[in-house]
Amino acid sequence: MQNMSNYAIILLRFAVFNLNRVNTAFFVVGGIDMIGEKYDEFIVYTENDNYSFVHINIGKTDFYELLFKYFFSEEKLLKYVENKENIHFTPTKRNYSKLFKNLKKFVDEENTVFDRDKFVLELKKFMNVDNINDESLLKFRKDKVGKIGEYIFSIILLEYFNMQCIIPKLTMITDPNMSVFGIDTIFFNKNKKMLLFGESKFYSKLNEGVTALKKSLISYEKQIEDEYYLVLSNTDNYKMPIIENNYIESVEECFTFKEFIEKENIKSLGIPLFIMHGGKFEMEEIIKEFNKIEKKSLFNLNTTYYCISLPILNKDKFKSEFLKYIYERIKEYEQFK
């Protein structure tokens, strides 16, 4: 847990925004010039292309509940899975059915990451488990945790960065116990006409997430090539309006991603990197960790890396609170059957 002096500084910065009713402020943290911007329920700290989204209620008793309500609101989830802009949620049976089916993808009954006794203790905090057998216990797989991070990452790219999702990876799941491999997110920057291939990590500590990102980036060109072959050029199996409206001729003709970028005369590429992490959330430390990532050019293109942090204080607490929240939402939507 971070020290009290730094926590007091964070609260003081929040007070600057709240009391002075400002949307943007400038800070110097550890000699690093940084911009703090109030955005929805967050203070977004920015230094060049490094970002940290700190929820205004971080550290308070309702922090996790408010965090989940924000990212898993009906409108945001529906906008993501339908991959459409300007969606406004209406309480219809069709919409509740779609929400129910997609929330179920975040939980399953295989390969629990908790041992049984510890898991039952967690469940007892929010439900009666006396008459529930082992087969009926809600369990939480490691890959499900990854899906949460990928989804939250996508919502940040959609909402804050105003990027367009080429294909929601959650919709590619055809079996509740399966994982979707490959690049975590594929997005499009309409203004720059830039393709973005994102990588998401969820770790107890920020430095562990950075280490994992560095490992993933070693083979990132190959991963993008594989993603082009398996997904982007596979328009017969996947609905991707952005590809169909901008690149359809090229993806149908080009065998490789390298050939594709040459034909389209693409000059730049975006690599968003996301870490949802527990532990400390000092801004200076976050910037220093992000600067350890080698941001090399891919495919000889101008490559922009967007490094994004979302502090969640405690990974285990996050997981148990998420189980509670999602399970309650699933039961709520079931009432509309």
> pLDDT digits over 213-267, tens only?
999 999 999 999 999 999 999 888 888 999 999 999 999 999 999 999 999 999 9
Question: Does 178 have pLDDT greater than 70?
Answer: no
Would you say 242 and 188 are in contact if contact means Cβ atoms under 8 Å apart?
A: yes
CA distance 316 to 113: 10
Question: Does 293 have pLDDT greater than 90?
Answer: yes
Total domains present in the chain: 1
Please give the average per-residue pLDDT across 191-218, as a whole number: 94
Within a domain: 98: yes
Within a domain: 207: yes
Instruction: Name the more confident of 4 and 50.
Output: 50
- Residue 149: which of 278, 8, 280, 7 has the closest Cα? 278
Within a domain: 10: yes
pLDDT above 90: percentage of residues in the chain: 46
Q: Which domain holds residue 260?
A: 4-106+141-334
Instruction: Tell me what pLDDT residue 22 has.
Output: 55
Polymer length of the chain: 337
Within a domain: 282: yes
- Residue 322: which of 154, 149, 168 has the closest Cα? 149
Amino acid at 10: I
Question: Does 8 have pLDDT greater than 90?
Answer: no
Q: What is the 3-state secondary structure (H, E, C) of 24-42?
A: EEEEEECCEEEEEEEECCE
CA distance 201 to 211: 10
CA distance 228 to 218: 18
Instruction: Tell me what pLDDT residue 13 has.
Output: 57
Instruction: Tell me what pLDDT residue 4 has.
Output: 40
Question: Does 132 have pLDDT greater than 60?
Answer: no
Instruction: Tell me what pLDDT residue 122 has.
Output: 54
Instruction: Note the pLDDT tens digit of each residue in 44-66.
Output: 999 999 999 999 999 899 999 99
| Alpha helices, H only, the chain | 4-20, 63-71, 74-82, 93-103, 116-124, 142-159, 206-217, 220-227, 241-246, 248-253, 257-264, 283-290, 315-334
Within a domain: 113: no
Question: Does 126 have pLDDT greater than 60?
Answer: no
Within a domain: 129: no
Measured in degrees and rounded to the nearest 5, phi and psi for residue 50 equal: -105, 135
Within a domain: 178: yes
Would you say 201 and 274 are in contact if contact means Cβ atoms under 8 Å apart?
A: yes
Within a domain: 159: yes
Please give the average per-residue pLDDT across 106-124, as a whole number: 53
